[in-house]
Chain A
C-alpha cells in the first residue's frame, strides 16, 4: 500500500510562519537532488509527507499525484496499465527514492526526451503553495487548455523558487513497444552527424548516446517496425541494453562515476563536437552533452555560448558560484520581478538558482 496523505494546509502554516519570521526555507523531498543547483539558504521544509496518487485515468492518459509521491511507485502504477511517463525521468537517489515533485521542480528528463516529451511538455496542471502562503491551482487535467497564463509549465525547472509544488497532473502515454539497441563504432563527429541524419528520417528512435567511441541507438516499435528500422540502420544489435540506458539515465554509468565537476551542455543537436578539454558523453541526439572537466566556468561558457549552447555545472565544483548559465541583464531583471510576484518575501529556496534571490 502506497503512502497517501494531504498535508497541504500544514505546509501552508509553515510557509506563513516562515513569512512572519522572515526565515527562508529549503524545500526538500527525499533529498536525492541536493547536489543540483546552488546551495540554498534557510531551514529544511519537508514535502515528502505530502504524497499519494490523487487520480489516475488510463483512458484519459492523465495522472495526478502529490509532489512527495515516490516516482518509482507512480511508474509502477502506470506500468500495471501498460502506460509510462513519456519523459523517462532519471532516478538520482541511491535507492531510487526520488519524488515526483523534485523531478518536476528540477525539470529532469531522460534518454527518451528528444523523441517523446520533456518533463515540462507533459505537465498539464499544478497545485502550488506560493511564497505568499496561498494555495493556487493552474492548468488542469486535460490535454488542451489555454485558459490563463501557463503557470504550470513555468514551475517546471524553477527549483521551487516560485512556489512549492503540491500536486501535479501529467500526460502519460502507452508504454514503449519492444525496444532494441544497435551499436556502432565511430568518432564523436561522425556520431553527431549520424544522430541528426537519422532524426530527420522516419525512424522509431527512442534514445541515442555516444560514449567511449561507441554510438548506441535505441529503437522502440512493433516487431515488424523494428526489423525494418534495423535493416535501414545497420550496426550490431546489443543484448541486455535496458541496463545501459538506465545507467546513463540515472548517472550510474561508469562515465559518471568520477569526482571531477560534471557539466551539462545544452547545444543545437547538430553542432559539431565542442572544442573543450575533458571527457564527453553525448545524448539526446546531440542536444545534451556531458563534460567532465576541471576547467573554469567562465572560459567554458564562452566556448559553449559561441556554439549557441548553454552550460550548467550539474554536479560537483563550486556550489556557491554561478551554477546556471548567466542570464542577460534584461532577462535577469525579469526573473527577479517574476520571483517577487510569486515569493515577495524571498523565502522559497533562496539562492538555489541564482545568487541573491
Chain B
C-alpha cells in the first residue's frame, strides 16, 4: 500500500520520465542500496534515471515543491557512503549522462556529461596526445561527476593536482531547478571561486550536469624506480630526500609489508616480499630530463639505505610495477572476507609514529592492517581486515578506523584526503572542526539549499550530532545504540 505522498510523487515523476526510468519496486531498488562503502545500506523510496538536463531540472522542481530529499549518484564507487540513499528520498542516477560532448584539442579541454567514466576521457583525448590527469584507482568505473563531487585524487596528485586543479567549468542545477554555469573554457571566472566550492561538496550544494576539464599533453616518457627497504622509517625518510633534492615525481607511492605480500600474491608484480616497505617513484617529462632524474633518484634511494633499487627495463615492466600498487585494495581483499579502507592525510614526517601507533591499535583491536600510502602527498590508506559475519567485528573495525582518523587529526592532518566524509566520517568532522566552523559550513549550504534537501545528513554533521558523538566519546569507546541510524 503506497502512502498518498509517495503516490503523488510517483505520479509527478512519471509525467517527467518514461515508465522504465522511475523505479520503485524493491528488486529494482536493490542495486542502489549502497555505494562502494557497502557496510551502510538503505533502499531509496524511488530511483530516477533521467537522460536530459531538462528532466533533471523537472525532477528537482518536483522534489523541491514536495520537500523530498534527493541523493545524486554516478557509478556508486565512492568509499564514504556519500551516495547512500535515503529511505524517504529520491535517488537521482546520472548514469545515462554518458556523452563526451566535445574534445577541444586546440584549447586542451574536454566538455563531458557527468556520467562519463574518468578513464573514458583520457581514451577520447589520446588521439590528440592529451589526457586527463587525476586517476583515482577506480578510474575504469568511476564517473567524472562523482570525481568532481568528491574532489577525487589518485597517484599523480603531487605533481598534477586533484580534481579541483583540473576542472575549468561546471553546469550545476540547484535544488529549485535553476541552472548555474560556473567557469567555462577560461582559466578563471568572475566573482567568487564557486568552482572550488562545488568541487568536493559531496552533493550537498547542487547537481552537476556538465563538466569541462583541462587536458594535459602526455609526457614524452615515464619511467618508474622501485626501491625496497628493511625499515619503513628509512623509506619515509627517502621520500623527504627526493623532495628536498628538488624533484617532484609524477607518482610516489609506498606500501608496507602486508600490502606488498598481498599484491605480489595477487598480480606477481615482482615485488620483494621480504621488504618492510617499498617505494615506487615515477618520473615523467621530456626524455633527457627523465634520464637525468632517474640517475639522481637512484643515488638518493641508495644513500637512504634501500636494500634494492630497480628501474623498470621497459614499459611492460613499468606497468607491472604499477599493477601491484593499483591492485593493492582487491589484493588485500583476498586475504580476508572484508576490508575497511581508511583515508587520512598526515604531514609526511609524522609517518613513522603514525604507522607505529596503527600497529599498536591493530594489536589492541586484534584486526590486521595493511598500509598503502600516497607518500608524496601524505595520503595514507590503512586497510583494516575483518569479517562482517563475526558478531561485533564490523563495530570494532569502525571504532578502530575512527581512532586512526583521530590520530591523523592529532598529528596535524585531516580525516579525509580523497574519499570524502560521506556518512562514514561524519563523527570525526566534530573532532576536526569547531562548532562555529561547522555552523559556517551549514551557512554555505543554506545559501544554495535553504531547505536542506540535497544529500542531507552527509559530509557536515549537525551540532546536535556532534554533541551526541562527543558525549559517547567521553563515556566509553563504543557507540551506545549501534542499531540506531547514524546521521
What is the interface of chain A, defined by CB distance below 8 A to chain B?
57-62, 82, 107, 113-114, 117-118, 120-121, 130, 134, 136-138, 140-151, 153-154, 156-158, 162, 173-175, 177, 196, 199-204, 221-222, 224-225, 227-229, 266-271, 284, 287-288, 308-310, 312, 324-328, 330-331, 334-335, 337-338, 340-342, 353-354
Contact = CB atoms under 8 A, between A and B. Distances in A.
Contact of A149 (B201, B289, B348, B379): B201
Contacts of B157: 143-144
A136 B193 contact: no
B458 to A, nearest CB: 12
Given A144-B162, A147-B414, A151-B444, A158 B287 contact: no
Interface string B382-426: 000000000000000000000000000000111111111100010
A107 B191 CA distance: 11
B123 interface: no
B487 interface: no
Contacts of A341: 440, 443-444, 446-447
Contact of A117 (B165, B191, B348, B448): B165
B153 A144 contact: yes
B318 interface: no
B186 A144 contact: no
30 contacts: A57-B347, A59-B348, A59-B349, A107-B193, A113-B187, A118-B188, A120-B196, A137-B434, A142-B346, A144-B414, A145-B416, A146-B151, A146-B420, A147-B432, A148-B429, A148-B432, A149-B205, A150-B164, A150-B199, A158-B192, A202-B219, A225-B289, A266-B189, A269-B107, A284-B187, A310-B189, A331-B180, A335-B191, A337-B448, A341-B447
6 interchain residue pairs of minimum CB distance? A153-B196, A174-B246, A144-B417, A143-B377, A270-B106, A341-B443
B217 interface: yes
Contact of A200 (B128, B287, B432): B128
A225 B108 CA distance: 24
Q: Which of B130, B151, B188, B189 has the most CB of A within 10 A?
A: B188
A232 to B, nearest CB: 9
A221 B347 contact: no
Interface string B352-384: 000000000000000000000010111100000
Contacts of B6: none
A145 B188 CA distance: 22
B200 A146 contact: yes
- For chain B, the bracket of interface size reads 35 or more
Contacts of A266: 186-189
Contact of A130 (B180, B418, B440, B460): B440
A340 B443 CA distance: 9
Interface string B219-253: 11000000000000000000010011011100000
Say what secondary structure dominates the interface of chain A. loop
B193 A154 contact: yes
A75 to B, nearest CB: 16
Q: Which of A287, A334, A353 has the most CB of B within 10 A?
A: A334
B193 A121 contact: no
B299 interface: no
Interface in B191-226: 191-194, 196-197, 199-201, 204-205, 217-220
Q: Which of A107, A149, A204, A325 has the most CB of B within 10 A?
A: A149
B255 interface: no
Contacts of A288: 187
Nearest to A329: B178
Nearest to A114: B187
A136 B437 contact: yes
Contacts of B291: 224
Contact of A202 (B179, B188, B220, B446): B220
A140 B412 contact: yes
B105 interface: yes
Given A334-B194, A341-B443, A202 B218 contact: yes
A201 B217 contact: yes
Nearest to B290: A225
Contacts of B184: 268, 308
B345 interface: yes
B107 A228 contact: no
Contacts of B193: 107, 120, 153-154, 156-158
Given A153-B164, A199-B108, A200-B129, A310 B190 contact: yes
B40 interface: no
Interface string B160-194: 01101100000000100011111011111111111
A310 B412 CA distance: 40
Given A118-B188, A177-B246, 12 more contacts: A62-B347, A121-B161, A141-B412, A142-B345, A143-B376, A203-B286, A204-B285, A267-B186, A330-B179, A331-B181, A337-B448, A341-B443
